[in-house]
């Protein structure tokens, strides 16, 4: 990487989905040192004191953003004042704090540094070894933590009998109108903190209003283990969302595995014609799953087994997300300006190969024939 700045620093912060947890911590500025190779030695510990281990969500990830700083030369400025720097984001690295088995990540590791074009806000931490360029820069980090295992999910799921439900009609008419208006708003409309607080306080009155669920989940104060029993009890007591409404819960703002699992369960009733229309959104939603083994991947493969039409559309959607005419062979040639989506290629390739493995010989031959036809068409 051709970085030319006076010094560099790293900002560390924990994220759960798109939501930052706690406050960012900064390293001291460091310069490039020349040895056998160029490197930046930060050599410091960052204590995330406001993020306790027992408050971490299962899907939490650590994001390390690298900034380059240049000294601003201002001739009119008083020489006795502190120097001013212009700061620019250069790249980032990330790691999930819990693995698929719920064991907390610890020890030393090398993390790939991704360019700023690959937005770190969306999606989970990139899979180790998924960077497309072998000569990319890496960040050596060490996570010092005791051996911690996240409690099993089923330990947080309680019987519906213990859930307290309020009567929506017992609220005054003004509050009812306000809650209905909030529930009907578009998901892209960001609610002010005071409105979110009202929604959270009145959540037990909204169980029979399906469209309110995504807004209530976004208003939750925390996804720490201590809060999951209340959250999951509320989730499984809610009136079922329609398949179209359930797709909202597959947005990157809802990283919780149990929320996404229930959303997929509500999708099971969708008809084939409707599913074909929403397949592009569901393939994109695969990017935001924390782990490769997830309910959405199972659902898409299951429906592909049941319907050749679904399998055909899924095949081409997955193929178009990957470079090359025969991406299932793994020879993915990536241009430097196409690195934005490269962090998801391994997962998409895994799904494509899984589809090939289950679709049967006849459909597999059909896919190969179509690929050859497209390749020949491009050659003219």
Q: What is the pLDDT along the chain (380 residues), one digit of tens a residue?
A: 678 899 999 999 999 999 999 999 999 999 988 877 889 999 999 998 899 999 999 999 999 999 999 988 766 566 667 788 899 999 999 999 999 999 999 999 999 999 998 999 998 999 988 888 888 899 999 999 889 999 998 888 876 667 788 899 999 999 999 999 999 888 777 888 999 999 999 999 999 999 999 999 999 999 999 999 999 999 999 999 999 999 999 999 999 999 999 999 999 989 999 999 999 999 999 999 999 999 999 999 999 999 999 999 999 999 988 887 777 776 667 776 778 788 899 999 999 999 999 999 999 999 888 888 887 766 66
Coil, helix or strand for 97? coil
Q: Supply the pLDDT for residue 164.
A: 80
**Token pair for residue 160?**
């519906």
The set of long-range contacts for 16-22, using a CB threshold of 8 Å and a minimum separation of 24, is 16/57, 16/59, 16/60, 16/61, 16/223, 16/255, 17/59, 17/252, 17/253, 17/254, 17/255, 17/256, 18/121, 18/122, 18/252, 18/253, 19/253, 21/51, 21/56, 21/57, 21/60, 22/48, 22/50, 22/51
The secondary structure element, H or E, covering residue 92 is strand 85-96
**Token pair for residue 260?**
């996404």
Q: Supply the pLDDT for residue 79.
A: 62
Q: Supply the pLDDT for residue 362.
A: 92
**DSSP tag of 206:** -
Under 8 Å CB-to-CB from 23, ≥6 apart: which residues? 13, 50
Rounded (5°) CA angle 114-116-118:
65
Q: Which domains does the chain have, with CATH numbers?
A: 7-143 (2.60.40.150), 153-379 (1.25.40.70)
Nearest partner of 263 among 254, 271, 272, judged by Cα: 254
Torsion of CA 218, 224, 227, 229, to 10 degrees: 110
Q: Supply the pLDDT for residue 282.
A: 97
Under 8 Å CB-to-CB from 36, ≥6 apart: which residues? none
CB 269 within 8 Å of CB 293? no
């Amino acid at each position: 990487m051709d970085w030319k700045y006076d010094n560099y620093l790293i900002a560390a912060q924990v994220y759960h989905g798109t939501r930052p947890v706690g406050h960012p911590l900064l390293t001291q500025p460091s310069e490039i040192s020349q040895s056998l190779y160029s490197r930046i030695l930060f050599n410091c510990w960052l204590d995330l004191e406001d993020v306790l281990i027992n408050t971490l969500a299962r899907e939490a990830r650590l994001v390390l953003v690298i900034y380059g700083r240049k000294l601003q030369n201002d001739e009119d400025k008083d020489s006795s004042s502190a120097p001013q720097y212009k700061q620019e984001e250069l790249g980032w690295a990330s790691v999930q704090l819990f693995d698929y088995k719920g064991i907390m990540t610890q020890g030393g590791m090398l993390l790939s540094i991704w360019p700023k074009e690959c937005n770190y806000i969306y999606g989970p931490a990139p899979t180790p070894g998924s960077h497309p360029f072998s000569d990319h820069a890496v960040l050596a980090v060490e996570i010092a933590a005791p051996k911690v295992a996240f409690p099993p999910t089923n330990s947080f799921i309680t019987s519906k009998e213990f859930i307290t439900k309020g009567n929506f009609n017992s609220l005054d008419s003004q509050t009812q109108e306000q809650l209905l208006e909030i529930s009907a708003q578009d998901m892209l409309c960001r609610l002010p903190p005071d409105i979110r607080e009202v929604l959270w306080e009145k959540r037990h009155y909204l169980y029979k209003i399906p469209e309110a669920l995504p807004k209530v989940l976004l208003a939750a104060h925390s996804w720490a283990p201590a809060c999951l029993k209340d959250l999951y009890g509320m989730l499984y007591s809610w009136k079922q969302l329609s398949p179209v409404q359930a797709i909202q819960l597959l947005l990157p703002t809802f990283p919780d595995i149990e929320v996404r699992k229930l959303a997929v369960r509500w999708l099971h009733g969708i008809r084939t014609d409707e599913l074909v229309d929403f397949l592009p959104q569901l393939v994109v939603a695969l990017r935001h799953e924390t782990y490769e083994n997830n309910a959405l991947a199972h659902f898409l493969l299951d429906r592909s087994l049941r319907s050749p039409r679904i399998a055909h559309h899924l095949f081409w959607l997955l193929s178009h997300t990957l470079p090359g005419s025969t991406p299932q062979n793994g020879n993915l040639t990536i241009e430097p300006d196409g690195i934005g989506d490269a962090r998801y290629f391994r997962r998409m390739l895994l799904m494509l190969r899984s589809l090939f493995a289950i679709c049967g010989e006849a459909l597999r031959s059909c896919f190969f024939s179509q690929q050859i036809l497209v390749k020949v068409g491009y050659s003219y």
